[in-house]
């Protein structure tokens, strides 16, 4: 499955990135100073493809973190349900263990009693 994923997704994606990088090689200045546009205090000059790819990566990371935080209540509920199920399984195992140790006399089945009940008597107790 991993080889299939690599062949179908990663290799074409890598080729698209390479083609994108070759087509967008010119340099751009990214400024982090909103008050001075002509001579910014904090500025970086990078190729355009680096700026776009880093922006996309940061967007994917931000979206993943947002999704992870929003699903926290579902993960918490799943942990709680798992703990409840584990506790119920333990209680069931204890009840089964107690039931197998209990040597209380059991009621005989219909096959053990015969057609008319114990000792060949009918419902009124008459001997057959």
pLDDT in tens, 103-120: 555 666 655 555 555 556
Instruction: List CB contacts of 116: < 8 A, sequence separation 6 or more.
Output: 122, 128
Percent of the chain with pLDDT over 90: 34
Name the E strands within 5-103: 27-31, 43-47
Does the predicted model carry a pTM greater than 0.75? no
pLDDT in tens, 43-78: 889 999 889 889 989 999 999 999 999 999 999 999
In whole angstroms, give the CA distance from residue 33 to residue 73: 39
In whole angstroms, give the CA distance from residue 84 to residue 114: 46
Identify the band that residue 21 occupies on the pLDDT scale cut at 50, 70 and 90. Answer: confident
- Of residues 35, 55, 31, the one with CA closest to residue 45: 31
């Amino acid at each position: 499955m991993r080889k299939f994923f690599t062949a179908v997704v990663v290799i074409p994606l890598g080729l698209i990135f390479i083609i994108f990088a070759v087509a967008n090689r010119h340099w751009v200045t990214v400024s982090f100073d909103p008050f001075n546009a002509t001579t910014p205090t904090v500025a970086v000059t990078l190729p355009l493809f680096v700026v776009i790819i880093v922006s996309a990566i940061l967007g994917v990371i931000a979206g993943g973190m947002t999704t992870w935080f929003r699903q926290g209540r579902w993960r918490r509920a799943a942990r709680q349900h798992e703990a409840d199920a584990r506790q119920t399984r333990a209680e069931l195992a204890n009840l089964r263990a107690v039931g197998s140790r209990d040597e209380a006399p059991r009621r005989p089945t219909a096959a053990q009693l015969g057609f008319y009940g114990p000792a060949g008597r009918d419902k009124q107790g008459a001997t057959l």
